[in-house]
């Protein structure tokens, strides 16, 4: 009686009378992923290398020059917002921010419109020279801007001599800088958008065509909204890239200080800070230039990640 109450019989343990006992399944052993651990360590180090200098610049923007050099790794004694005000007004950072915002907004809009139209045709239509045109665009990714600065300068200078479009698209003009921004952003954007448009389902396009949609309406009303995740991601990447562009504005806008963009203004402030010892104003200007892109990335990080993965698998 005690054995029956205190212990389960083999049949009771297996669930069937008289059946042999079933041993529990072995626990799966965890595999030691050395490569994954090393990868996480490298990513953590890389993140620290990016985040620590940004935090240091942000804190230095609230210090005075003495604190910056005597106690660079300590918190500021108090928040000196006058550094930001001095950078915005005296150093003309406000003007440079507005110039950059105008140029980047127009250039990014033009880049996305032209890239989307070109990528859609290259991805969805078959014609003679399709692959050649695509590879010519892709080849543009391999040529960084500094390789073409000399011919680019003389090309834009020749446009400046034209009476009709020279004042608007030549040297020291917003239009010339915007056109060059668009030209350098097209290869990267077309390369990724072409792959994204190829991943979109053909059934939706066929249904719209049967309903009588023209090629233009099919693109703007059907395919373009379906490509929204990829468009948002590439828009953010182009905004960040064009916002931080320095070589092209230096080449094309050197003679018009009132039209300088933010990177040119920061360089001028950096030069002046060495003579005036206004390092706190310099770091305040740097913080003002960095914050818009950080805020934009934080707001749209979900859309960026969704856009990068949405076109990866058809």
Give the pLDDT of residue 73: 86
Give the pLDDT of residue 52: 92
Give the pLDDT of residue 5: 46
Give the pLDDT of residue 314: 46
> Is the entire prediction scored with pTM above 0.95?
no
For the chain, list residues with pLDDT below 70.
1-32, 273-276, 305-314
**SS3 string of the chain?**
CHHHHHCCCHHHHHCCCCCCCCCCCCCCCCCCCHHHHHHHHHHHHHHHHHHHHHHHHHHHCCCCHHHHHHCCCCCCCCCCCHHHHHHHHCCCHHHHHHHHHHHHHHHHHHHHHHHHHHHHHHHHCCCCCHHHHHHHHHHHHHCCHHHHHHHHHHHHHHHHCCCCCHHHHCCCCHHHHHHHHHHHHHHHHHHHHHHHHHHCCHHHHHHHHHCCCCHHHHHHHHHHHHCHHHHHHHHHHHHHHHHCCCHHHHHHCCCCHHHCCHHHHHHHHHHHHHHHCCHHHHHHHHHHHHHHHHHHHHHCHHHHHHHHHHCCCC
Question: What does the pLDDT look like over 55-78, one tens digit per residue?
Answer: 999 999 999 888 888 888 888 888
Give the pLDDT of residue 135: 93
Give the pLDDT of residue 27: 63
Give the pLDDT of residue 254: 86
């Amino acid at each position: 009686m005690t054995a029956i109450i205190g212990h389960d019989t083999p049949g009771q343990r297996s669930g069937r009378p008289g059946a042999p006992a079933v041993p529990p399944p072995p626990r799966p052993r965890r595999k030691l992923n050395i490569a994954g651990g090393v990868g996480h360590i490298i990513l953590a180090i890389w993140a620290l290398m990016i985040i620590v200098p940004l935090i240091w610049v942000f804190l230095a923007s609230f210090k005075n020059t003495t604190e910056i050099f005597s106690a660079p790794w300590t918190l500021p004694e108090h928040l000196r917002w006058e550094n930001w005000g001095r950078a915005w007004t005296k150093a003309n950072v406000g003007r440079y921010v507005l110039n950059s915002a105008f140029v980047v907004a127009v250039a990014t809009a033009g880049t996305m419109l032209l890239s989307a139209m070109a990528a859609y045709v290259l991805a969805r239509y078959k014609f003679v020279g399709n692959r050649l045109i695509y590879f010519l665009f892709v080849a543009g990714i391999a040529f960084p801007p500094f390789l073409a600065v000399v011919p680019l300068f003389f090309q834009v200078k020749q446009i400046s001599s034209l009476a009709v479009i020279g004042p608007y698209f030549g040297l020291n003009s917003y239009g010339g800088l915007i056109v060059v921004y668009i030209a350098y952003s097209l290869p990267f954007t077309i390369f990724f958008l072409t792959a994204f448009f190829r991943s979109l389902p053909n059934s939706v396009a066929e249904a719209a065509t049967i309903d009588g949609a023209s090629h233009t309406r099919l693109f703007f009303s059907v395919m373009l909204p379906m490509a929204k995740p990829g468009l948002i991601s590439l828009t953010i990447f182009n905004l960040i890239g064009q916002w931080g562009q320095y070589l092209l504005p230096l080449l094309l806008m050197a003679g018009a200080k009132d039209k300088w963009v933010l990177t040119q203004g920061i360089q001028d402030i950096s030069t002046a800070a060495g003579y005036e010892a206004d390092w706190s104003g310099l770091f305040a200007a740097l913080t003002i230039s960095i914050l818009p892109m950080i805020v934009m990335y934080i707001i749209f990080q979900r859309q960026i990640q969704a856009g990068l993965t949405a076109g990866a698998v058809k």
